[in-house]
Amino acid sequence: MSDKMQIAQSFIIDKITDSILNTISGDSFQTEVSRLTSIDLKIITKNNNWNFDWKSEFNNIQKEVYKLTIVNNSKIIQGLLSITIEQDHIYMNLLESSPFNIGKNKLYEGVAGNLVAFACKISFQKGYDGFVAFTAKTNLIKHYEESLGAFHFKNQRMIIETEASKKLVKKYFKS
């Protein structure tokens, strides 16, 4: 783990869904996760109500930044995830739902869960048995234990182990 400052995560797992659900219609939409591009960065700004400096994440060569979009609608970003590939696990540096997917008037549910499941999937692909770690805000530790099956390791560190990772990957990724 790098010695850089770790951001305590404050994403909310609103619902574990099969993909993402439109809160108005109840329709389910299949998603895809792909690498964030420099073109995407033009709209991911604090002026557009994003909370974090995604350009800094994107420009850090130790980090990989991914975007969640709806299949066949890749121009509208539903959420973002920054990860670091460690020696034996995936570390989630930062996760943020799009501004229109936060709060009581959000458009889609399941965005954060989808991105966490993607991190778990990468962990399996790298041979890390699904191990994913992140730093949680203290008041959300119990939420992550209950919603993700993560366990509180030490201080604010949370770990998602193999069985919980398998459940998330199976729920979000059918193939």
**Residue 166 located in a structural domain:** yes
**Residue 74 located in a structural domain:** yes
In this structure, what CATH number is given to the domain that contains residue 143? 3.40.630.30
Residues of the chain with pLDDT under 70: 1-5, 8, 10, 12, 14-15, 175
**Residue 11 located in a structural domain:** no
Q: Give tens-digit pLDDT for 76-124.
A: 999 999 999 999 999 999 999 999 999 889 999 999 999 999 999 999 9
pLDDT in the model for residue 2:
42
Alpha-carbon distance of 128 to 59, in angstroms, equals: 25
**Residue 152 located in a structural domain:** yes
Which residues, 6+ apart, have CB-to-CB distance to 22 below 8 Å? 28, 29, 107, 108
- Specify which residues 28 forms β-bridges with: 21
Orientation angle between helical segments 111-125 and 141-148, nearest 10 degrees:
70
3-state class (DSSP) for residue 97: strand
**Residue 2 located in a structural domain:** no
- For the chain, the domain total comes to 1
**Residue 5 located in a structural domain:** no
How is residue 55 annotated by DSSP? H
**Residue 136: which domain range?**
20-172
Encoded tokens for 43: 């709209």
**Residue 58 located in a structural domain:** yes
pLDDT in the model for residue 134:
95
**Residue 140 located in a structural domain:** yes
Contacts 24+ apart (CB under 8 A), 8-11: 8/135, 8/136, 8/137, 8/138, 8/156, 9/92, 9/94, 9/95, 9/134, 9/135, 9/136, 9/137, 9/140, 10/136, 10/137, 10/140, 11/95, 11/96, 11/97, 11/112
pLDDT in the model for residue 153:
87
